[in-house]
Amino acid sequence: MDAEDFSQIRDAVRQLVREVVIPREEEIDLDDRIPEELRGAIADMGLFGYALPEEYGGLGVTMREDVELAFEFGYTTPAFRSLFGTNNGIAGQVIAKFGSEEQKERYLPRLAAGELIGSFALTEAEAGSDPAGLRTTARRDGDHWVVSGTKRYITNAPLADIFVVFARTDPDERGGRGISSFVVDAKAPGVTLGPRDKKMGQSGAWTSEVFFDEVRVPADALVGEEGRGYSKALTVLSRGRLHIAAMCVGMAQRVLDESVAYAATAKQGGAPIGRFQLVQALIADMHTELIAGRALVRDVAARYDTGEDTSVGPSAAKLYCSEMVGRATDRAVQVHGGLGYLRTTPVERFYRDARLYRLYEGTSEVQRVIVGSGLLRAAGMPRG
Ligand SMILES: Cc1cc2nc3c(=O)[nH]c(=O)nc-3n(C[C@H](O)[C@H](O)[C@H](O)COP(=O)(O)OP(=O)(O)OC[C@H]3O[C@@H](n4cnc5c(N)ncnc54)[C@H](O)[C@@H]3O)c2cc1C
């Protein structure tokens, strides 16, 4: 896509976010759902497939373009992006990158059109930060695989039409080897869901447990090579981490804008609180860290596109930006005083929403381990 086409898409996304989604943020939070007509607008704009390949109906954005869109998505409730995030991200990318031609043709155009919702089912109890310890199994039975196990915290599970599921196919292998990935129809007999999780924030974005009880899937549901699913998951997560870093930048911009607008008008002692230099300091620190985060994300995205760094950079960006937006939302509440603690004030909602960014798609500790160990390995340190 040329630069002009992309800037038209970005402007349209900005307009949708600011004119349609933001006015309904509070409703989305209170009702814990994305209104149906918004889903239609998202589909019309092609957002269910913005990161899927153009030849399968997506917009095929580069990582540099992806982060520019995520800056816009991040400016409103994260539930907005969550609805189409798994199609473009972790679930759709596994099929786009590693699926057979037949799988791509079967799923990608419908994912890109928003006719199907795909969910990525990797995490289990005792296999979150270290998914290589997962216990879901898939055993071969004639021309089928039989999948059994329980996944938890799966985004969009209650809406999903298909799950990209990671399961151990070789019980004799340990760790990441011997794990494979499958596309499983959400309606297949034996697939059931737990109740929707009650979360601290990000209302309107749904997660739940997913149970696979002896689910029979055809042999061609296997994505890519048998036993290589884990390395696939890692590649896809790395792209997702950079995207989340950009979402954090978007949210930091929003809470900064809310804080500046509030400080410029809310008064104490007859003068706007923005006259107080300690309030200015809160705003200055938010702004400084925000522009550092944005520059970091853009730099890492450019190096992701050239293939120069697809692991350490995305983790460093996710680490910095998720921690940065935590500080930004905290300062934004501070600028708003008591109002910042009241429900229905946007910064109160963002304060809760932001907390997830330090946990999912790899905790901050996990990002530190990836960055630290990656640099040491590059310097020749032997693997432990
Ligand atoms: C709302 C939400 C949506 C999610 N969506 C999805 C989804 O769609 N698909 C999916 O598969 N998963 C999803 N997840 C799961 C998410 O990625 C995991 O929760 C996350 O990776 C952390 O794993 P855990 O919860 O098992 O915590 P744990 O791994 O048990 O972590 C607990 C603590 O131990 C620390 N820790 C663990 N290992 C190490 C280590 N090696 N070094 C240092 N510290 C360590 C962690 O940093 C953390 O502080 C979602 C989670 C949530 C909450």
pLDDT tens readout for residues 259-305:
999 999 999 999 999 999 999 999 999 999 999 999 999 999 999 99
Q: Would the CB of 121 count as within 6 Å of ligand 1?
A: yes
Distance 359 CA to ligand 1 centre (A): 6
| Nearest-angstrom CA–CA distance, 85 and 65 | 15
What pLDDT is recorded for position 1?
A: 83
What pLDDT is recorded for position 120?
A: 95
CA quadruple 188, 82, 56, 302: dihedral sign: negative
CA distances from 276 to 255, 268, 271, 272, 279 (A): 19, 10, 9, 8, 5
Confidence bin at 55 (pLDDT 50/70/90): very high
Confidence bin at 179 (pLDDT 50/70/90): very high
Q: Please tell me which residue, 311 or 175, carries the higher pLDDT value.
A: 311
Confidence bin at 174 (pLDDT 50/70/90): confident
For 316-319, which contacts have Cβ atoms below 8 Å and span 24 or more sequence positions? 316/367, 316/371, 317/241, 317/242, 317/245, 317/293, 318/241, 318/242, 318/244, 318/245, 318/248, 318/361, 318/362, 318/367, 319/364, 319/367, 319/368, 319/371
What pLDDT is recorded for position 176?
A: 86
First CA to last CA distance, the chain: 44
Kindly name the residue from 25, 68, 209, 361 that is annotated as catalytic. Answer: 361
Q: Would the CB of 155 count as within 6 Å of ligand 1?
A: yes
Read off the tokens for 247: 């979402």
Angle, helices 90-98 vs 78-88, to 10°: value is 20
Mean pLDDT of the chain: 96
Q: Which of 311, 313, 291, 289 is nearest to 300 (CA)?
A: 313
Sequence spans of domains, the chain:
3-113, 118-227, 231-378
> Relative to the CA of 155, which ligand 1 atom is closest?
8
Phi/psi of residue 225, nearest 5 degrees:
-80, 140
User: What class has domain 3-113?
Assistant: mainly alpha
Whether pTM exceeds 0.75: yes
> Relative to the CA of 202, which ligand 1 atom is closest?
1
Q: What is the mean pLDDT of residues 145-172?
A: 97
- Tokens 């800037």, residue? 7
Q: Would the CB of 360 count as within 6 Å of ligand 1?
A: yes
Question: 113: helix, coil or strand?
Answer: helix
CA quadruple 167, 170, 173, 178: dihedral sign: negative
What pLDDT is recorded for position 296?
A: 98
Residue 12 has pLDDT above 90, yes or no: yes
Residue 175 has pLDDT above 90, yes or no: no
- Tokens 């390949």, residue? 53
Type of residue numbered 321: C
CATH of the domain spanning 231-378: 1.20.140.10
Q: Which of 125, 121, 94 is nearest to 107 (CA)?
A: 94
The CATH architecture of the domain made up of 118-227 is Beta Barrel (2.40)
Confidence bin at 250 (pLDDT 50/70/90): very high
Phi/psi of residue 115, nearest 5 degrees:
-75, -25
| CB crowding 111-120: b at 16 or more within 10 Å, else e | bbebebbbbb
Residue 90 has pLDDT above 90, yes or no: no
Distance 81 CA to ligand 1 centre (A): 20
